[in-house]
Amino acid sequence: MPRRVILFLFVAAAQLAVPAWMLVGHERVRKDGAVFLFRTAPVDPRDPFRGEYVRLNFEAQQGSWTAPDAGTMEYGQRNAFALLDTDSLGYARITALVDHAPDNGPYLPIRYWTMGDEGTVNSLELPFDRYYLEEGDGPKTEALLAPDWSSGSPSTPLPAHAVVRILHGQAVITDLVVGERSIHDWLKDPPKEASPAATSVLTGS
């Protein structure tokens, strides 16, 4: 067998190893990670390569935290680690931002913007921001969570949260729950009278 062909076999193995490694890491988090619920409001965009998804805008991203490097900040983007806890209702919340990954307790790597020497962070980016759906389900999901204006005044949208497993700073979204039901159940079995918003959207009216 020519040397080039043997070399290609190594290349092929490396090419397979990269996506496989992505899989292994995520499966480990999915299996062993601690469960956190992140309150969210999805919107529907598309990725040119990866298809349709709902972008998740989490409540936990907004707040007021002391910046880990307060006093030495310039305008720009910074990386840090968010320490996690749950509130009285069982939803995830960020308790503090730190420079280095903690030895114990759940945490996530995050990014935030500094606007000058303010020392306070009010908004940050979590390492997960999307939930992929089958083609056509993105707009339905977004509309399901939007307020309904048909009666003249806005209805309250259904509450939603993402189920996220977290292990050693790695996170995997395992489900998107809307009004106590998985989004997949909503899309497979749209209720007739569940809520004005849900009914109008899922029947396409």
Partner 1 sequence: MSEPRITQALPELVREGILSAEQAERIRVRYAPDALQGGGRLLLVFAILGSLLVGLGILLIIAHNWDDLSRGTRTALAFVPVLLGQGLVWYGMLRKPEVTAWREGSAVMLACGLCACVSLIAQIHHIGGALDGYLLTCSLLILPLLYLPGSFCVSLIYLAMITWYAWIVRFEHFSGSDRPWWFIPLLLAALPYYLREARRIGTSTVFWWLSLFMALSVGFGSQLFYADWSQAHALGVVALAGAFTLVPWLHGRSGMRTWPWVLVGGATMLITFCVFSFRPTWEGMDGEERVDWPLIAAFTTIGIIAYILSSRVRRPFEQWPYPEGSALFLISFIVGTFSPALAAILMNIALLVLGVFTVKHGTERGSLRRMNLGLTILSATIFMRFFDSDLNFVVRGLLFIGVGVGFLFMNLRMVRQRNKQGHAA
d(CA 96, CA 76): 20
- Does 115 sit near partner 1 (CB under 8 A)? no
48: contact with partner 1 by CB under 8 A: yes
CB distance 160 to 176 below 8 Å: yes
If one counts every other C-beta atom within 10 angstroms of the C-beta of residue 17, the result is 11
Spatial CA neighbour of 78 closest among 39, 43, 32, 111:
111
| Residue window 53-92: x/- pattern of binding to partner 1, with contact defined by CB under 8 A | x---------------------xxx---------------
Closest CA to 177 of 140, 154, 145: 145
Binding window for partner 1 (CB under 8 A); candidates: 46-54, 65-73, 153-161, 190-198: 46-54
Only segment of 49-57, 87-95, 116-124, 142-150 that touches partner 1 (CB under 8 A):
49-57
Residues 196/150, Cβ–Cβ less than 8 Å = yes
Footprint on this chain of partner 1 (rule: CB under 8 A) = 1-2, 4-5, 7-9, 11-12, 14-16, 18-19, 22-23, 26, 30, 47-53, 75-77, 127-135, 137, 172-173, 184, 187
